[in-house]
Amino acid sequence: MTVQELPGDTAAYRPTPPPAWQPRTDPAPLLPDPEPYRVLGTESADAVDPELLLRLYAELVRGRRYNAQATALTKQGRLAVYPSSTGQEACEVAAAMALETRDWLFPSYRDTLAAVARGLDPVQALTLLRGDWHTGYDPHEHRIAPLCTPLATQLPHAVGLAHAARLKGDDVVALAMVGDGGTSEGDFHEALNFAAVWQAPTVFLVQNNGFAISVPLAKQTAAPSLAHKAVGYGMPGRLVDGNDAAAVHEVLTEAVERARRGGGPTLIEAVTYRMDAHTNADDATRYRGASEVETWRAHDPILLLERELTRRGLLDDEVRKAASDAAETMAARLRERMNAEPVLEPMDLFAHVYAERTGQLREQAAQLTAELDAAADAEGEAR
Amino acid sequence: MTTAAAKPATMAQALQRAMRDAMAEDPTVHVMGEDVGTLGGVFRVTDGLAKEFGEDRCTDTPLAEAGILGTAVGMAMYGLRPVVEMQFDAFAYPAFEQLISHVARMRNRTRGGMPLPLTIRVPYGGGIGGVEHHSDSSEAYYMATPGLHVVTPATVEDAYGMLRAAIASDDPVVFLEPKRLYWSKAPWSPDAPTAVEPIGRAVIRRPGRSATLITYGPSVPVCMEAAEAARAEGWDLEVVDLRSLVPFDDETVCASVRRTGRAVVVHESNGFGGPGGEIAARVTERCFHHLEAPVLRVAGFDIPYPPPMLEKHHLPGVDRVLDAVARLQWEAES
Ligand SMILES: Cc1ncc(C[n+]2csc(CCOP(=O)(O)OP(=O)(O)O)c2C)c(N)n1
């Protein structure tokens, strides 16, 4: 007999009702809009501060040029690799511009541009990709965590930092960026869950650029949208047109301010498109057609912004030239500085492993010193 | 009687006391993990900390090891000193990505700009009759990752002194707690001054002349017992408690082996690819001409940790240590 014996008259049996159940949070306000939120080309565009539109424009143009220059540097062998964010500049720039100086940015490997838009020296931002050191800048100075290569692992760091800042009484917000593929990683889940439970002042920005290397979003998730995932954690999800710089800026600024006021984390999905291949090592023609790329070309973030600026009489040749001149100056300077051989110090290998060198590392450092001395002697003799 | 009268205390109490003292002295010390708050940890090592310091300083986290360690990284970036508890050895594995990809190398990848002062407490090892996944000795994985300190106390006094040092360290420390010694008692008064042990120094627990037993953590008491038993056979064994696996105290270990000429490494984690191989190699490289016999290893078998009813056959006990000691009479054998 596997079925549990019921007490008394079976026919008269009524199960006791379960204890009353209530959802912990009303899911409705957390749900993202059914369509990505847009500003440019809509009526609400009129309300956007012209100053902001012009700043976004200058940054987008500079960002596009930066991507082109860095890509060129890979072809010249100056960079080992460069994951371009061409097509995604609106996300990168608006993300950086939504932060105050005291806030922190937690970028992934593709978010060099966000770091540069935040004020990081363009050469320092490329050190990781050039290969002279893993992080070319002091994270505390810029409040930018190291560019992160293992997917989604920087997200819990952002949560922990935001949580610590709040414990210390600082109104600091952490913005963490991740790709659509990265949302499948366990760390994405753990970070969002911690952030919601702790009400940590964190903003998660997913740049859904359609692909994780070659894998399209449809093979990454069955969720209605990535922004919908927020509901499961008990935080608001926002869906935004990632090529609409004004919309991204508005949604991010709102989320950052809400977090700063103690309103907790937000998950934002910015729908965008990667125009270039994943990196220079990737052949994008193997997994997507030219027509798809062309469709997105018509929805280019710079184009959208130019159209709006023109409509409002804010764009003339002078503005265009100023933006493009600034971009060219940046690119020329970047090229020139990247063409200089980086100065490497081999003994740095042992400099920052531990606060104090262990006996093992002292021995190994002595070995390398001897090897370097011998090599210098040999070179001296050869001359 | 003085106030520092030494009543018996357990290792768990000493560890708890170390965290309490560190938290009282330094407001940036935060304890976090699964069940560490209200419950005081499944081994009660964090007992009372949440009550005394509040839930912000001793926090019950969601159940997610990568999340615990990953958020601790961010907290350390902002100037806190997180002390993270991994509930059991084998449940720390989900956090390995954070440990290896970030914790161990954050100082290095930022050229010293972002050191991570965090302590990762891991109850480890067998001998408590735990079911599967509750008895792993994972020290070799940690040792294999540059950037981490890996330490393990074997006495009540060291438990206090070493945990204080780990929390004070500006580098990440994997603090392995031999769980079968949690309830071992020793006369130790929390009021008495206890030395904070600098990380990286081995100690001679028992001096001897005829051979060195090199060991750590849960195997230290085993070796002490073996050394006592060996006296009857005419062996005067020296017992070196490593205390720190990384950094490794070559000096103390090699000085001992040079004096005795013979060495056995004893640990309960598996032998193949285990810590003993590294230790034997180091000793051989440095003391070859002083050695009368090859450095031998006494380790757990190369098997996944066995079910509790069989663990007594797996864990190296006194007899296995004595057998190895007998084999040190190399000339007679070869
Ligand atoms: C944990 C981990 N697994 C695999 C990789 C290799 N990898 C690098 S980028 C990438 C695709 C990521 O796609 P997505 O998150 O959508 O970001 P995108 O590159 O589109 O910005 C993969 C699989 C990695 N970096 N980290």
**CATH number of residue A184's parent domain:** 3.40.50.970
CA pseudo-torsion sign A372, A373, A376, A378: negative
Cβ atoms of B51 and B25 within 8 Å: the answer is no
What backbone torsions phi and psi does residue A180 show, to the nearest 5 degrees? -65, -40
Per-residue model confidence (pLDDT) at position B2: 41
Domain that holds residue A84: 28-338
How far apart are the C-alpha atoms of B226 and B181, rounded to whole Å?
A: 17
* Digit-coded pLDDT (tens) for B51-60: 999 999 999 9
Question: Helix, strand or coil for residue B7?
Answer: coil
Q: Are strands A211-212 and A215-216 parallel, antiparallel or unpaired?
A: antiparallel
| Length, in residues, of chain B | 334
Confidence of residue A273 (pLDDT cuts 50, 70, 90): very high
Q: What is the pTM of this model?
A: 0.93
How far apart are the C-alpha atoms of A336 and A322, rounded to whole Å?
A: 21
**CATH number of residue B313's parent domain:** 3.40.50.920
The reply to whether A168 and A275 lie within a common domain is: yes
Q: Is B137 buried (19+), middle (13-18) or exposed (0-12) by CB count in 10 A?
A: buried
The whole-number average pLDDT for the span A117-132 is 95
* Digit-coded pLDDT (tens) for A173-192: 999 999 999 999 999 999 99
Per-residue model confidence (pLDDT) at position A4: 60
The reply to whether B181 and B250 lie within a common domain is: no
Confidence of residue A355 (pLDDT cuts 50, 70, 90): very high
Q: Which amino acid is at B136?
A: D
| Active site amino acids of B | 134
The reply to whether B310 and B241 lie within a common domain is: yes
Burial B290-329 (b: 16+ CB within 10 A, else e): ebebebbbbbbeeeebbebeebeebbbbbebbbebbebbe
Inside any domain, residue B334: no
Per-residue model confidence (pLDDT) at position A9: 66
Per-residue model confidence (pLDDT) at position B194: 74
What backbone torsions phi and psi does residue B90 show, to the nearest 5 degrees? -75, -10
The reply to whether A144 and A122 lie within a common domain is: yes
How far apart are the C-alpha atoms of A280 and A263, rounded to whole Å?
A: 41
B106 part of contact set with chain A, CB < 8 Å: yes
The reply to whether B242 and B161 lie within a common domain is: no
Q: Please indicate whether, in this complex, the C-beta atoms of A157 and B79 are within 8 angstroms of each other.
A: no
* Digit-coded pLDDT (tens) for B243-274: 999 999 999 999 999 999 999 999 999 999 99
Q: Which of A2-16, A271-285, B107-121, B231-245 shows the lowest per-residue confidence on average (mean pLDDT)?
A: A2-16
What backbone torsions phi and psi does residue B300 show, to the nearest 5 degrees? -65, 160
Confidence of residue A309 (pLDDT cuts 50, 70, 90): very high
- CA A189 remoteness from chain centre: 16
For helices A89-97 and A50-75, the axis angle rounded to 10 degrees is 120
* Digit-coded pLDDT (tens) for A253-265: 999 999 999 999 9
| Contact residues on chain B for A186, CB-CB shorter than 8 A | 66, 94
Q: Is A204 buried (19+), middle (13-18) or exposed (0-12) by CB count in 10 A?
A: buried
The reply to whether B93 and B178 lie within a common domain is: yes
Per-residue model confidence (pLDDT) at position B41: 96
A151 lines ligand 1 (CB under 6 A): yes
pLDDT at A12 over 80: no
Question: Helix, strand or coil for residue B147?
Answer: coil
The reply to whether A266 and A160 lie within a common domain is: yes
Inside any domain, residue B310: yes
Cβ atoms of A258 and A264 within 8 Å: the answer is yes
Q: Please indicate whether, in this complex, the C-beta atoms of A164 and B78 are within 8 angstroms of each other.
A: yes
The reply to whether A288 and A357 lie within a common domain is: no
Inside any domain, residue A168: yes
* Digit-coded pLDDT (tens) for B273-320: 999 999 999 999 999 999 999 999 999 999 999 999 999 999 999 999
The whole-number average pLDDT for the span A123-151 is 95
* Digit-coded pLDDT (tens) for A369-381: 999 999 999 988 8
Instruction: Return the half-sphere exposure (C-beta side, CA atoms, 13 A cut-off) of residue B175.
Output: 31
pLDDT at A275 over 90: yes
Residues of chain B scoring pLDDT < 50: 1-3, 333-334
Instruction: Classify residue A284 by its DSSP letter.
Output: G
**In chain A, which residue's Cα lies nearest the Cα of B65?**
A190
Cβ atoms of A190 and A229 within 8 Å: the answer is no
Inside any domain, residue B294: yes
How far apart are the C-alpha atoms of B120 and B123, rounded to whole Å?
A: 10
Inside any domain, residue A183: yes
Final residue of a structural domain among B133, B164, B188: B188
Inside any domain, residue A271: yes
Per-residue model confidence (pLDDT) at position B111: 96
Domain that holds residue B61: 7-188
The reply to whether B127 and B266 lie within a common domain is: no
Q: What is the mean pLDDT of chain A?
A: 95
- Probe residue for ligand 1, chosen from A151, A278, A279 as the CB with the greatest number of ligand atoms within 8 Å: A151
A86 lines ligand 1 (CB under 6 A): no
Per-residue model confidence (pLDDT) at position A264: 98
Instruction: Return the half-sphere exposure (C-beta side, CA atoms, 13 A cut-off) of residue B63.
Output: 3
Domain count, chain B: 2
The reply to whether B116 and B219 lie within a common domain is: no
Residue of A64, A78, A142, A278 with catalytic role: A278
Cβ atoms of B214 and B263 within 8 Å: the answer is yes
Inside any domain, residue B193: no
Whether this model's ipTM surpasses 0.85 comes out as: yes
Cβ atoms of A107 and A315 within 8 Å: the answer is no
| Length, in residues, of chain A | 383
Per-residue model confidence (pLDDT) at position A347: 94
Alpha carbon of A187: minimum distance to chain B alpha carbons (Å): 7
Residues A244, A245, A251, A257, Cα dihedral to 10°: 180
Best of A167, A173, A199 to disrupt the B interface by mutation (most B CBs within 10 Å)? A167
Inside any domain, residue A20: no
A346 lines ligand 1 (CB under 6 A): no
